[in-house]
């Protein structure tokens, strides 16, 4: 027994692996280098890259909620719309500086997400998914009742009219890059934390987690609100990029479909999965968008194949063959690794 105790006392638990020690600094370096892209490439490419960053943000936020919190929402487009309209209200109607209005727009989406959680959490399983979609539609109908917000036809974001077009395109890209970095960082910190461990337990079995001392509703609510804030910030970036806030496009269920596609293909419940899924979706869109319906059919076929045969997604397949992690979210010991 004494020998066993001595051996156990020598066991070291580390969060950093060889790959994460390399991958995290490389990811940081890539982000820093990406800030220089508006100076070295065409603005049309910057617009496309801004779209990619928006996809990463919303994919990461949906994955945080579904992949770690076990809440499969089909109504996250509600917060895209709330973020965009929140920017119009704060920047145009209230006259707040645009750089302050952006985080306020995300905060507005988060506050509304907090209030809506008391309604949404009364539903479980498929009822929760459908309920979030209905909530998104109700929010859309409410917003379209205000003449100041353009009713059903939408409204123009005038707060950006004072900026040069080229600078506005670059600015929307830089803001999207900053928010993307923050979104991924928040996901990493949450998953690494004790709270993240409890959240994973809630995802796997809420009843068992509750009996182990985890406050299930609190854990879910925190993630629900964070996801709403991040998705709302993405909506604000969309408004800056397009200068037009239209309810039919912002509150379209297609946004949730894209989030689900990116996370399912990339890998549910991983930090890297939504990034890979966003890259795949963005690449397919850029290469095949001109083919119209064929492009949409291909996306559907890919989603079905992964849902049926590769449920862990691309990153899950990679990790099954070789333990690999870009971000330090797992645990390693002398006796092996624990995810």
Written as tens digits, the pLDDT of the chain (339 aa) is: 444 444 555 556 566 666 666 767 888 888 889 889 998 888 888 999 999 999 999 999 999 998 888 888 899 999 999 999 999 999 999 989 999 999 999 999 999 999 999 999 998 888 899 999 999 999 999 999 998 888 888 898 888 887 888 888 999 999 999 999 999 999 888 888 787 777 777 777 777 777 877 777 888 899 999 999 999 999 999 999 988 899 999 999 999 999 999 999 998 888 888 999 999 999 988 888 777 777 778 888 888 888 888 888 888 888 776 666 777 666 655 554 444
Which are the contacts of 62, defined by CB distance < 8 A and separation ≥ 6?
73, 76, 227, 231, 256, 259, 260, 262, 263, 274
Residue 71: inside a domain, yes or no? yes
Residue 333: inside a domain, yes or no? no
Residue 159: inside a domain, yes or no? yes
Separation CA 275–CA 270 (nearest Å) = 10
Per the structure, the count of domains in the chain is 1
What local confidence, expressed as pLDDT, does residue 199 receive? 79
What local confidence, expressed as pLDDT, does residue 4 receive? 47
Residue 316: inside a domain, yes or no? no
Residue 247: inside a domain, yes or no? yes
What local confidence, expressed as pLDDT, does residue 210 receive? 77
Residue 327: inside a domain, yes or no? no
Separation CA 112–CA 229 (nearest Å) = 9
What local confidence, expressed as pLDDT, does residue 334 receive? 52
Tokens of 89: 């209200």
Residue 290: inside a domain, yes or no? no
- Domain extent at residue 78: 16-252
Instruction: Name the residue among 290, 37, 329 with its Cα closest to residue 177.
Output: 37
């Amino acid at each position: 027994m004494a020998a066993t105790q001595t051996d156990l006392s020598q066991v070291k638990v580390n969060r950093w692996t060889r790959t994460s020690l390399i991958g995290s600094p490389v990811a940081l370096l890539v982000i820093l280098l990406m800030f220089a892209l508006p100076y070295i490439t065409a603005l049309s490419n910057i617009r496309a890259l801004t779209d990619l960053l928006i996809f990463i943000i919303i994919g990461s936020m949906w994955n945080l909620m579904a992949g770690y919190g076990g809440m499969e929402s089909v109504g996250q487009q509600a917060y895209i719309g709330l973020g965009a309209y929140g920017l119009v209200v704060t920047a145009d109607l209230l006259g707040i500086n645009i750089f302050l209005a952006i985080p306020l727009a995300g905060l507005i989406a988060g506050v509304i997400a907090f209030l809506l959680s008391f309604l949404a959490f009364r539903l479980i399983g498929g009822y929760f998914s459908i309920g979030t979609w209905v909530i998104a539609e109700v929010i859309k109908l409410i917003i379209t009742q205000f003449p100041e917000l353009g009713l059903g036809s939408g409204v123009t974001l005038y707060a950006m009219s004072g900026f040069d077009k080229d600078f506005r395109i670059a600015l929307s890209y830089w803001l999207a890059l900053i928010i993307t970095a923050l979104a991924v960082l928040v996901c990493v910190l949450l998953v690494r934390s004790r709270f993240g461990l409890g959240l994973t337990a809630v995802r796997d079995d809420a009843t068992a987690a509750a009996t182990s001392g985890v406050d299930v509703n609190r854990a879910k609510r925190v993630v629900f609100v964070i996801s709403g804030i991040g998705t709302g910030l993405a909506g604000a970036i969309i408004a800056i990029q397009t200068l037009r806030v239209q309810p039919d496009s912002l509150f379209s269920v297609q946004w949730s479909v894209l989030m689900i596609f990116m996370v399912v293909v990339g890998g549910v419940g991983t930090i890297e999965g939504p990034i890979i899924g966003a890259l795949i979706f963005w690449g397919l869109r850029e290469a095949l968008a001109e083919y119209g319906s064929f492009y949409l059919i291909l996306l559907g076929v890919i989603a079905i194949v992964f849902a049926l045969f590769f449920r862990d997604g691309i990153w899950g397949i990679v990790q099954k063959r070789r333990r690999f992690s870009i971000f330090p979210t797992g645990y390693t010991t002398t006796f092996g690794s624990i995810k």
